[in-house]
Structure 1
């Protein structure tokens, strides 16, 4: 290839330098050639003459064989209206150049485009990256550098309401697949110069832009350095979604519990940044990552802060109770009906025994069949077309459940237990935490069907021990209850009023731990009761 041959010839130190450092990927970067014809040959050779990569050349006095300026871009990734203006500007710059002076043409072109931020690039690989990222690149003859302008356009999804994290009261805007739009949404929430956003590219082939957002002074410096180190250590071909990064930088990759939170709400990201957390926004996906997080953070919703604190506390306790139901209800039913029947009242025991009299399967197998049936119906409802998916899932569950009870394959109580367990699982706001509860539920069902209540207890103790031992970027996962911290417990399972939450979490926030000044109650105005004697004296004085 012409590109590889010229790269080796123009960089004679590449082979020796590459042998001493593995981070340079084998050679030195190839600079932009001063001869425009050579640069365009390198450009076409590297990109393989792709039909969507457009090169518009402008020559002096209409000479196509001697171009002075070449405009390179990818069709479909740019704004056509701005492109037309840039092409007209480039043509005028060439018309004014009567002597074919490339440097003067470049300076004139930079002056004629004052509204766009032009970036100067001297490396050819950066030129390729700019073009493939949706920029317009200007290559000039007798000029050893290129000018790039960002005029991104094309088809993009507009800002819409989040689909996975809906609220009744609160902002209705969610992230999109465009990184610039997502950064602007966060910047609109946090109008402070302390907001920092560091953009880097990860992925050899995708060159995905990844933004690290934090508030300087609130986020810990050690946490920021740790996130940078983990991102820089990623060596992969592609980053197509934020989960690629989540699995590569999380603390405990083998745990079923999520140690990094994902959200598609800009207000959730802004609130997390104000607590001292760090957000990672990935181009091409509407889901941003938030770290570090704790176990109880997954049971909180953005709406908790948009309504009264007493109602928010009630809903958080309700979610935690639903989590326990989704985790333990099938296991408790299996253990009690199989081993510990004496724990039930006599009337309930007789009713359950009458229902299970004609059931051919044991309680464990019966629960497994019903749970797997419901999982299949739920997955089918998600994968089917949106118009008929909900109808199929609801009708399928009703028909299969009723038919199974009438056929005597399962008991009616088991259908109730499995249905209520599935509904309780949907109460958990975080999909990742709900999925972890679903997986652990099957393990507890096996222990309950084998050892009864003792098996459930033998499964819960290692789970709690595992939760206490987990850490998310240096923060205890079960904070603030293990270790217990009274100050941080104001906004975890119980949400105190806003005027009572004066400080940020100790283990998460950096130097600036003060959220607001101490609350001062408004002074009560004293009511002055008039003295009747003083009134009479004032009247006598006026008469005299």
Structure 2
């Protein structure tokens, strides 16, 4: 049962101090409403706008805003009209008051009243809007999300100016009570998809949600798959583009990374800059990404298989050169490759975790000095250094970090299979990955949608991107009631361009 507030101001203040004992950031400000009536303003310092409280609440109250004698049943009925804050609510029980204080509200108590008023005055020091550090572009917007939920939703509103955009509020986490907003465009996103996202979020049973990654693990379809089934981004233009394709975004207070669902493998291979450059430039870059994706996954395994089992596949001059380089190496190819790959992963991790200036020096010196010293000491051969370096560069061409990490993990599986069975092992690993991808789904959407199953609408934006005016229909995963998104391009010489391929 919810305990009601007392009519005595002193008793309410004593109860508050007992609930929030040893809380040095809780501010109690006494206010004299009239000669016979006192009030109390309570808020948490640091999460509210202190200047706004002083200007819009404290000053009007001190100036004698409330003129009423005798007992007051409902504080909200008194003339608080000089308070210029718009988001005002009333609370008559302690759970409502506690939740208001913890969610950056200012609470006003008054003597002879068993009701308190709450005002939303969120503030505090938060990071300003800056260029995203994880998704840099040459051409495109330079703004990125911050840790503030309201700033992030405002950045999205600047991009999508329609009354059909919905931002459904949720609270996730039994202790942290993290604010979450589910964003979608009504009429573009399938109702079943929106209901599924909201239902999965409501089923999260956890004490705290500190980052969107917590939510990602709770709501993904297959938690045992190494492939990411939800995309995250800190770019407002990326999120806006996904919403226009009928997808759903999940904003989490306290993190700049916004989740997007559903997702396909092809979407993870695309960058927002693919749509800002002309289509033939984009297609060239996409082919490079696809080639280096295969290279990052297969190159060390191919080196191990060929040098161990299939030497006759290489030209004589090349195999002699490799044999000469490996003549003094005491380890087999698989051990040699694992030493270099693990060392490269350690250098990469060290470069990320150390301070920026030191991290760059460690990465460069580690790659040069350790690699050269290992070759001269006869621990590894020069060809494997080249292979590992090319593999590392190839993994950096992938635009999504979570997909690049998956490729790095699967690379070790391919290497082990190649050491055991040669090229047959690589075929086995490749078939296993393809079978897994064809069975994988993201919120019911096939992971290889567009290719398996084949959908002409989605195929126009996978291996190549056709011109914008050719992509007149939204992807298959969007709502079937509103699939058209572009008209027919008027040719400069007169007439109309065909909508087909």
Q: Same fold (TM over 0.5)?
A: yes
CA displacement, residues 507-541 of structure 1 (integer Å, 9 cap, x when unaligned): 2334211112233434539xxxxxxxxxxxxxxxx
RMSD (Å) for aligned C-alpha atoms: 1.7
How far residue 432 of structure 1 moved from its aligned partner, in angstroms, is: 0.5
Q: Could you tell me which of 150, 161, 167 is aligned with 2:120?
A: 150
> What residue in structure 1 maps to residue 222 of structure 2?
252
Q: 1:344 to 1:487 in 2, by over 3 A?
A: same
> What residue in structure 2 maps to residue 17 of structure 1?
none
How far residue 350 of structure 1 moved from its aligned partner, in angstroms, is: 0.9
Q: Does 1:173 align with 2:146?
A: no
> What residue in structure 2 maps to residue 29 of structure 1?
2
Asked if structure 2 preserves the Cα contact closer than 8 Å seen for 1:74 and 1:132, the reply is: yes
How far residue 145 of structure 1 moved from its aligned partner, in angstroms, is: 2.9
CA displacement, residues 76-118 of structure 1 (integer Å, 9 cap, x when unaligned): 1112211112111122346x53625545864445311134321
Q: Could you tell me which of 345, 356, 367 is aligned with 2:337?
A: 367
Q: Matched residue of 1:487: which SS? A: helix
Asked if structure 2 preserves the Cα contact closer than 8 Å seen for 1:444 and 1:459, the reply is: yes
Asked if structure 1 preserves the Cα contact closer than 8 Å seen for 2:233 and 2:257, the reply is: yes
Q: Matched residue of 1:506: which SS? A: coil
How far apart, CA to CA, are the structure 2 residues paired with 1:190 and 1:93? 44
How far residue 369 of structure 1 moved from its aligned partner, in angstroms, is: 0.3
How far apart, CA to CA, are the structure 1 residues paired with 2:119 and 2:6? 20
Q: 1:109 to 1:369 in 2, by over 3 A?
A: farther
Q: Does 1:90 align with 2:61?
A: yes
Q: Could you tell me which of 460, 485, 494 is aligned with 1:490?
A: 460
Q: Could you tell me which of 151, 159, 163 is aligned with 2:133?
A: 163
Q: Could you tell me which of 20, 25, 31 is aligned with 1:58?
A: 31
> What residue in structure 2 maps to residue 542 of structure 1?
none
Asked if structure 2 preserves the Cα contact closer than 8 Å seen for 1:356 and 1:411, the reply is: yes
Q: Matched residue of 2:80: which SS? A: helix
> What residue in structure 1 maps to residue 172 of structure 2?
202
> What residue in structure 2 maps to residue 384 of structure 1?
354
How far residue 265 of structure 1 moved from its aligned partner, in angstroms, is: 0.5
> What residue in structure 1 maps to residue 322 of structure 2?
352
Asked if structure 1 preserves the Cα contact closer than 8 Å seen for 2:234 and 2:257, the reply is: yes
**Greater CA drift, 296-305 or 113-122:** 113-122
Equivalence map 1:69-468=2 (5 Å): 69-85=39-55, 86-93=57-64, 96-97=66-67, 99-102=69-72, 106-468=76-438
Using structure 2 for the length normalisation, give the TM-score. Answer: 0.95
Unaligned segments of structure 2, at least 5 residues: 496-501
Asked if structure 1 preserves the Cα contact closer than 8 Å seen for 2:174 and 2:206, the reply is: yes
> What residue in structure 2 maps to residue 41 of structure 1?
14
Aligned length: 494
CA displacement, residues 377-423 of structure 1 (integer Å, 9 cap, x when unaligned): 11111111112111111111100000111111111110000011011
**Greater CA drift, 482-491 or 233-242:** 482-491
Q: Matched residue of 1:111: which SS? A: coil
How far residue 61 of structure 1 moved from its aligned partner, in angstroms, is: 5.2
How far apart, CA to CA, are the structure 2 residues paired with 1:471 and 1:36? 57
> What residue in structure 1 maps to residue 499 of structure 2?
none
Q: 1:236 to 1:88 in 2, by over 3 A?
A: same
Which protein has the larger Cα radius of gyration, Structure 1 or Structure 2?
A: 1
Q: 1:263 to 1:253 in 2, by over 3 A?
A: same
Q: Matched residue of 1:112: which SS? A: coil
CA displacement, residues 133-155 of structure 1 (integer Å, 9 cap, x when unaligned): 21211123343432222222221
Runs of 4+ that moved beyond 4 A? 60-63, 103-106
**Greater CA drift, 52-61 or 489-498:** 52-61
How far apart, CA to CA, are the structure 2 residues paired with 1:239 and 1:30? 28
Asked if structure 2 preserves the Cα contact closer than 8 Å seen for 1:134 and 1:151, the reply is: yes
Structure with greater proportional helix content = 1
Q: 1:98 to 1:107 in 2, by over 3 A?
A: closer
CA displacement, residues 162-183 of structure 1 (integer Å, 9 cap, x when unaligned): 0000000000000100101001
Unaligned segments of structure 1, at least 5 residues: 1-27, 526-544
How far residue 62 of structure 1 moved from its aligned partner, in angstroms, is: 5.9
How far apart, CA to CA, are the structure 2 residues paired with 1:142 and 1:212? 41
How far apart, CA to CA, are the structure 2 residues paired with 1:109 and 1:161? 46
How far apart, CA to CA, are the structure 1 residues paired with 2:440 and 2:43? 48
Asked if structure 1 preserves the Cα contact closer than 8 Å seen for 2:44 and 2:104, the reply is: yes
How far residue 60 of structure 1 moved from its aligned partner, in angstroms, is: 5.0
